[in-house]
Chain A
Amino acid sequence: MSTRQLLLFGGIALAILSMSYGLWYAVFAEHQALDDIGMSLTSGFQAAAQRNPTDAEKALLQYRQAKYNYDRQVDVHGHWLGLSMLLIVLALAADQISISEKSKRLLASCLILGCVLFPLGVLMEIWSNGPFPRAVAIAGSALVLASLAGIVLGVLRRSDP
């Protein structure tokens, strides 16, 4: 499989994954999540109005968790889609990256892996507060940054007019 095919298939597959995920989230989870955020915040202040700091604290903790989850779900959808578009554009620009085909394929593979792992790590943070999901997200974004920097150098190096 050539670099172009690799990036093209990777990009479109990631776009489909992102849109399917976004559609599922919009239909089955988003409205409930937003209701949860609004209701827990209201409950917290209503408890404060009733001079009940324990309930207020409990409700605000629930708000914190609901917002934490919501932000990650939306971020994952947005980042997967954005990165998939980057992959497709780079597939089309593959001829303009002036490095060997082998290096190009290596950079493309690292980029695709990073594009999958980085949002996946963010998504995993919903289920686990441990260091593993954060490590996956950091590793993913490092892969994206390093491979993209290599591609930028390849494009800037291009000598033919």
Chain B
Amino acid sequence: MLKSSESLKFRPRRLAIENNMPSWPQPIYLTPKVSDFTLYRSLQDREFFGACACSGQEHFHSRLTLMSTPESSMAVTVGFAPLSPRRLLTLAGIGMILVGMVFGDIFAVFVLHQNAARVGAGLAAAAQAAQAGDSAAVAEHFKSTGDFLENRGTKVDAHVHLIAFGYLALLLALVQPWVSLSESAGRRLAWLFIFGGVLLPVGVFLIHYVGLGYSPLQAIGWASIFADLGGLLVLLVTIAYLAGIIRHFRANRPALSDQLLRDRSTPARWLLAGGLTLVLLGILHGSYYAGVDLYKHEAADYTILSEMSSGAAAQDSSKINQALADYGQLQGDKAVKIAAHAHVIEFGLLAMLVAFFQPYVQLAEVWKRRWAATMLLGSLLLPVCVLLEMRFGLIAGGVADIGGLLVIVALLAMWIGILRYTGNIDSIAKGSHS
């Protein structure tokens, strides 16, 4: 353990913390700039150390004395103290992404296909009712089809928004060193973000079940109102953090060096380069889809429905059946192409984001590499197999689900690694104050 006086000298920076904590699989590196940053933040922000492990407890040391506590504890608590905005946003962000992905997987396996079949059956029943000349039954069947579509749409929206807010939380965690706000303001904003980020998907999920019950508005129900409130909170928090960043740059403060952005480890490089390549592939695929398929699909959607309607008016069953089969094929083709495009980009972004958090993942280096490779493999496997679903059916669908599972397991492993890291720095911080 270093002595108090030594910590301010910026002596050799490689700290073999494993001497104190033999269970740690890797040493922690501390550069002078991290310490500079700590000192700088503590001077500009009175509450910076208010977030130590003994929160609420009276300290008998001056601020400088606190700065000169053993360097190990000082180093590891920089910017990642308990309930600090960065820690809150990091853990909540990965948690939101995990929950969103697990929800998406459950939805894909147990709801999506069954729901698509019900939508198809509802459309077929409406076409047959039109053929029989029963207008009331047409309206009834379309109403139930609309309900199935709403059920599907709100679940997809809940899945997408929870994951997107998780990404945004991780991004906001990364930019915290540039946010010139007090620690307590940053923390309150982080809690508000998490509240809004969870409220929106939960509200969207409930839209189908709550409907317009007791709503003061004609078209929007209570679930929708709360969902919009959640979105508004996330928006306001993002604006507040942006104001903090502008304040930082306007004050011409010295350039900050952040441990997370300086990491050049192998898993971090794999994830960054792999993620960026996935994003590029996804945008290329999206451009191809927009150029070749999009307008064709839109025209076909109208043409097939028109065929179905004219077949019903002419009481031509074979024409209706052909149109129904074509419509099912078209929807399937559209769905897999859009899903592949969206997922490859989302997974690419996720890989890039978690690349920055590798210094916080407290796992053995070899396992960090394995989980990085697993994440990249799953990120490629899922969209490729989703694209192949139209040709190979359930086999490709099953492999795609395995790809999704690989991403979830790798992300969970990294999250556990970060939790181990937080547990250790908290115990060090507690030790230094006792």
Contact = CB atoms under 8 A, between A and B. Distances in A.
Nearest to A1: B249
A85 B356 CA distance: 14
A145 interface: yes
Interface string B227-267: 11001101100110110010001000000000001101000
Interface in A51-92: 51-53, 56-57, 60-61, 63-64, 67-68, 71, 78, 81-82, 85-86, 88-89, 92
The interface size bin for chain B is 35 or more
Contact of A155 (B133, B138, B238, B276): B276
Contact of B171 (A41, A60, A88): A88
Interface in B274-327: 276-277, 279-280, 283-284, 286-287, 290, 298, 301-302, 305-306, 308-310, 312-313
Is chain B's interface secondary structure helix, strand, loop, or mixed overall? helix
Interface in A3-43: 5, 8-9, 12-13, 15-16, 19-20, 22-23, 26-27, 31-32, 34-35, 38, 41-42
A157 to B, nearest CB: 10
B410 interface: no
A84 to B, nearest CB: 9
A48 interface: yes
Contact of B126 (A35, A45, A52, A57): A45
Contacts of B273: 152, 155-156
B228 A26 contact: yes
Contact of B312 (A27, A49, A160): A49
B266 to A, nearest CB: 8
Contacts of A9: 245
A152 B305 contact: no
A46 interface: yes
A148 interface: yes
B263 to A, nearest CB: 10
Contact of A41 (B142, B175, B276, B290): B142
B309 A45 contact: yes
Contact of B178 (A8, A42, A57): A8
A40 to B, nearest CB: 10
B181 to A, nearest CB: 14
Contact of B138 (A15, A45, A151, A156): A45
A23 B229 CA distance: 9
B235 A16 contact: yes
B130 interface: yes
Contacts of B220: 27, 31
B349 interface: yes
B312 A86 contact: no
B234 A19 contact: yes
Nearest to B262: A95
A149 interface: yes
Interface of A: 5, 8-9, 12-13, 15-16, 19-20, 22-23, 26-27, 31-32, 34-35, 38, 41-42, 44-53, 56-57, 60-61, 63-64, 67-68, 71, 78, 81-82, 85-86, 88-89, 92-93, 95-96, 137, 141, 144-145, 148-149, 151-152, 155-156, 158, 160-161
6 contacts: A9-B245, A45-B127, A48-B312, A57-B309, A88-B174, A88-B175
Given A35-B219, A93-B261, A141-B283, 5 more contacts: A60-B305, A85-B168, A88-B171, A152-B273, A152-B280
